Amino acid sequence: MQYYQIFQQVVATLKEKAQLFDQQLYNDYLQIFKHLPPQNDFTFTHIMMEYISDFNIPGIYFYQKQKYYPGFFVQRSNDVLVVTDVIDDLQFVIGDEITLMSHDSILELSERYKKHFYEKHNEYQDWSFILQKQKEVKVKRGDTCYSFELGQYLYPQSQLRKVERETLNYQVFTIYNLDELDFDQVADMSLQPLILDLRHAFGTKAISTQLLSKVHEIIKQHTIFIIQSQFTCGTAEKLIEVLNKSDQVVTLGQPSFGMGTEFVHLTVDHFHLELPLNEGEPIVPDIELNALYTNKDNCMLEIINRLKTI
């Protein structure tokens, strides 16, 4: 299927389900896609997000079946991007400050791509889309500056990790894509205290009853700590909402995205559109941490200190 045909199907869905349509905008982008050569999925995906952003409605996502990211996560603080988590690109460490991307300052880029931020405050801006368009960054680490080339990595797989210490045993379940969660991962959870890391979790499909029943089984025995962030959205928010009904669950981090609970899913070729049909409310955690300190290390320290008192 050609890119312009995929675009037309997405436009038809946005128009029918959410009344989002602009004739001039459609004409302009249609010409772009008709002249985009094949085998340019990365460029096509990013131009599609440019089109969607013109409607100024956060929470609409268009992505390839295989979702990519730069190998780490960041959060904006004034005129720098602070690295908050490192998964794949081990050039970076938590706390690195990105000052330039492809020779442009963060302030310049924030102005250029301001429509992608939907007028959100700095700490709530999602820079993953802009990072994927860059080839090189300047990084300040303490008193030293570095230049790193950026790569593209498949979005991480969810991981269950068990920690056994002399005085404290617990398990950490880091979830990234709830839509593709394998029940074998859930079934392997023990009845030890559970830390559920949903800071970068996404997904828009119904929550697995198997996942819920397994987690409820653990709740009967132990407290569950849920780590959330301003980027926790969709199905992950629904999961927190359901689990919050138990007084054995403690949430900490930042208020969540507030994406909504009803979605239209469209798959065309190997691309996906996720369209929220209602506005959601952010979930406020029991323990609210400073936005820049909602990284895994700081959250784990807070949780471990609390586990020792249980």
User: What pLDDT, in 10s, does the model give residues 200-219?
Assistant: 988 777 777 777 888 888 88
In tens, the pLDDT along 216-269 reads: 888 888 889 999 998 898 888 888 988 888 888 999 999 998 877 678 889 999
Dist CA 261 CA 263 (whole Å) = 7
| Count of all residues that appear for the chain in the document | 310
Q: Are 288 and 228 in contact (CB under 8 A)?
A: no
Q: How far is CA 183 from the centre of its chain?
A: 21
Least confident of 9-13, 114-118, 170-174: 114-118
* Angle formed by the axes of helices 23-34 and 3-18, nearest 10°: 160
Residue 166 one-letter amino acid: E
Dist CA 284 CA 230 (whole Å) = 10
| Nearest CA among 86, 75, 134 for reference residue 109 | 134
More confident residue, 284 or 279: 284
> What is the chain's mean pLDDT, rounded?
88
Nearest-10 Cα torsion for 153, 158, 163, 169:
160
Max mean pLDDT among 147-151, 223-227, 286-290 falls in 147-151
More confident residue, 180 or 44: 44
In tens, the pLDDT along 49-107 reads: 999 999 988 888 898 887 889 999 999 999 999 999 999 999 999 999 999 999 999 99
* Angle formed by the axes of helices 3-18 and 41-53, nearest 10°: 30
| Residue 279 reports pLDDT greater than 90 | no
pLDDT recorded at residue 292: 64
| Nearest CA among 192, 206, 201 for reference residue 229 | 201
Residue with tokens 């979702």, as numbered in its chain: 67
Residue 116 one-letter amino acid: H
| Residue 293 reports pLDDT greater than 70 | no
pLDDT recorded at residue 302: 83
Q: Are 235 and 204 in contact (CB under 8 A)?
A: yes
- Domains of the chain by residue range: 3-57, 70-153, 155-259+280-307
| Residue 146 reports pLDDT greater than 70 | yes
Dist CA 294 CA 199 (whole Å) = 8
Instruction: Give how far Cα 119 sits from Cα of 31, 115, 146, Å.
Output: 29, 7, 31
Residue 282 one-letter amino acid: P
Instruction: Please compute Rg for the chain using Cα positions.
Output: 20
**Helical residues (DSSP H) of the chain, grouped into ranges:** 3-18, 23-34, 41-53, 106-112, 128-131, 183-187, 209-219, 235-243, 296-307
Q: Are 160 and 175 in contact (CB under 8 A)?
A: no
Q: Which CATH architecture has domain 70-153?
A: Roll (2.30)
| Residue 291 reports pLDDT greater than 70 | no
pLDDT recorded at residue 108: 95
Decide yes or no: CATH 3.20.20.70 for domain 155-259+280-307: no
- What SS3 class is residue 134? coil
Dist CA 281 CA 92 (whole Å) = 33
